[in-house]
Amino acid sequence: MMNMMKRIMKIQHSCLLAALVLLTAGMVSCKKDDDSETEILPELTGTLNYELPSYVMAGQVFELVPTGVSKDKDGLPGIYWVVSTNSSVRDTTRYENGTGTGAYTLVIPDDITTMTVTCYAFAEGYYNTSKAVTVTRVKGAESITGLNLPEDVAQFSDPRDGRSYPYVKIGSREWMVRNLAYGTAPAYMEAVAMQDVFGLFYSWDEAVSACPEGWRLPDADDWKDLATAHGCADTEDVYAGIGGKLMADAYMNDMKMWEFWPDVKITNNLRFCAIPTGYALDADGSYTFKGSSHYAVFWTAEENGEEQAWCRQLYVKSNDVYKASMYKSAFRAPVRCVRTAE
């Protein structure tokens, strides 16, 4: 009887193993079938690109031309565009059969603050690719609020282009309280819309001749007059404790520009209206913009040898005004114009 039971258990065990082998084989077979049904598509060749500045003005018109992407052997892919203000609409500007140029005409509306424009490249048998750019609409000088200037602040109209600059008397000088926006120097992020918001970013050679007639690029005596007239020590390197008196608690498109820092009490008591526009680095005409929201930097008329000149700078975390030496051509900074008060 005992032998019979052992024989039955052995048979059951063998059957169980056989069942498991069959089940596993079935699973492997199904997995293999599933994999064979998953088609791996090729990527489109290259990188999709088009040019659109980060800052725009209402009414500006941009002709967006996609470049840089193609199919391996079959020519150009199709192109369609989606704009976040009307994301349910796809505007196809080139079909796979070659109809259309792919270009898209974008007109900036006057009822948005930000919008995202996305370009898609598509082709049957390929993975799609895309590029998205988010732009911010600005309104020139009106984009900056919180300067707290009096309504009757004096204004100077630059006869060269008609731009108007408010100015105030500080010490024995009159200072423009907006960054200069005259000339062909680049605007912030190379966006024309920012010219009247942040002013332009000048090399030193451009800066020394940028101010209108009757005004000048400030020198060391002008900065000393500004600082010492309001209690700063007579020093050329650092004007201590005056930073917050020059900074404006300003907003751009309702976004606070100077970050709060406990060591700096922003009062703008001197009505200088410094805002953190940062600076730019120039590599043979290729510009990199840095320091916005952290630094306000201004060229001075003072050279430091043949290759460098002095700047004055304010930093978000400091209540002092510093002197810094920068390369005349590789460094770009805003300009504030000054003149002796009558």
Give the CATH number, domain containing residue 68.
Answer: 2.60.40.10
For residue 37, the model assigns a pLDDT of 62
Indicate the length of the chain as a whole number: 342
Quickly state the pLDDT bin for 19 (edges 50, 70, 90): very low
Tell me how many domains the chain contains: 2
What are 286-297's pLDDT values in tens digits?
999 999 999 999
Which of residues 76, 103, 138 is at a domain's end? 138
Q: Has residue 120 been placed in a domain?
A: yes
For residue 98, the model assigns a pLDDT of 87
For residue 87, the model assigns a pLDDT of 80
Q: Are both 166 and 78 inside the same structural domain?
A: no
Contacts of 308 (CB under 8 A, 6+ apart): 325, 326, 327, 328
How far apart are the C-alpha atoms of 80 and 72, rounded to whole Å? 20
Contacts of 332 (CB under 8 A, 6+ apart): 185, 186, 201, 202, 203, 279, 280, 281, 282, 287
Q: Has residue 273 been placed in a domain?
A: yes
Q: Has residue 250 been placed in a domain?
A: yes
Query: How many Cβ atoms sit within 10 Å of the Cβ of residue 150?
Result: 9
Q: Has residue 34 been placed in a domain?
A: no
34/236: higher pLDDT: 236
Q: Tokens 């020519």 label which residue?
A: 75
Q: Fill in the DSSP letter of residue 211.
A: S
Tell me if 336 sits within 8 A of 180, measured CB to CB. yes
DSSP string across 84-118:
GGGTT--EEEE-TTS-S---EEEE--SS-SEEEEE
pLDDT over 50 (residue 1):
no
pLDDT over 90 (residue 25):
no
What are 249-264's pLDDT values in tens digits?
999 998 999 999 999 9
What are 89-120's pLDDT values in tens digits?
899 999 988 899 999 999 999 988 999 999 99
Which tokens hold the place of 15? 């059957």
pLDDT over 60 (residue 243):
yes
Q: Are both 103 and 177 inside the same structural domain?
A: no
Q: Are both 183 and 266 inside the same structural domain?
A: yes
Q: Are both 118 and 188 inside the same structural domain?
A: no
Task: Report the chain's mean pLDDT, rounded to a whole number.
Answer: 89
Q: Are both 85 and 152 inside the same structural domain?
A: no
Highest mean pLDDT (candidates 6-15, 22-31, 178-187)? 178-187
Q: Are both 66 and 201 inside the same structural domain?
A: no
For residue 29, the model assigns a pLDDT of 38
| H or E segment and range at residue 306 | none
Which of residues 102, 119, 138 is at a domain's end? 138
Q: Has residue 4 been placed in a domain?
A: no
Which tokens hold the place of 266? 């922003």
For residue 23, the model assigns a pLDDT of 36
pLDDT over 70 (residue 35):
no
Q: Are both 187 and 245 inside the same structural domain?
A: yes
Q: Are both 149 and 120 inside the same structural domain?
A: no
Contacts of 89 (CB under 8 A, 6+ apart): 82, 83
* The amino acid at 102: G
For residue 234, the model assigns a pLDDT of 62
For residue 296, the model assigns a pLDDT of 98
pLDDT over 70 (residue 277):
yes
Average pLDDT in the 122-141 region?
Answer: 95
Domain span at 109:
45-138
Which tokens hold the place of 135? 């732009």
For residue 21, the model assigns a pLDDT of 37
Question: Per DSSP, what are the bridge partners of residue 67?
Answer: 49
Q: Has residue 28 been placed in a domain?
A: no
Quickly state the pLDDT bin for 74 (edges 50, 70, 90): low
Which of residues 138, 168, 202 is at a domain's end? 138
154/33: higher pLDDT: 154
pTM of the predicted model as reported, rounded to 2 decimal places: 0.85
For residue 86, the model assigns a pLDDT of 80
Q: Are both 254 and 152 inside the same structural domain?
A: yes
Q: Has residue 95 been placed in a domain?
A: yes
Q: Are both 100 and 234 inside the same structural domain?
A: no
How far apart are the C-alpha atoms of 315 and 297, rounded to whole Å? 9
For residue 3, the model assigns a pLDDT of 41
154-157: strand order across its sheet: 154-157, 164-170, 173-176, 338-340
For residue 228, the model assigns a pLDDT of 84
Q: Has residue 23 been placed in a domain?
A: no
Q: Are both 149 and 260 inside the same structural domain?
A: yes
Question: Per DSSP, what are the bridge partners of residue 289?
Answer: 280
Q: Are both 78 and 151 inside the same structural domain?
A: no
Which tokens hold the place of 242? 């005056």
pLDDT over 80 (residue 7):
no
Range list of H helices, 139-269: 195-198, 204-207, 220-228, 243-246
Contacts of 222 (CB under 8 A, 6+ apart): 173, 338
Handedness of CA 10, 12, 13, 19 (dihedral sign): positive
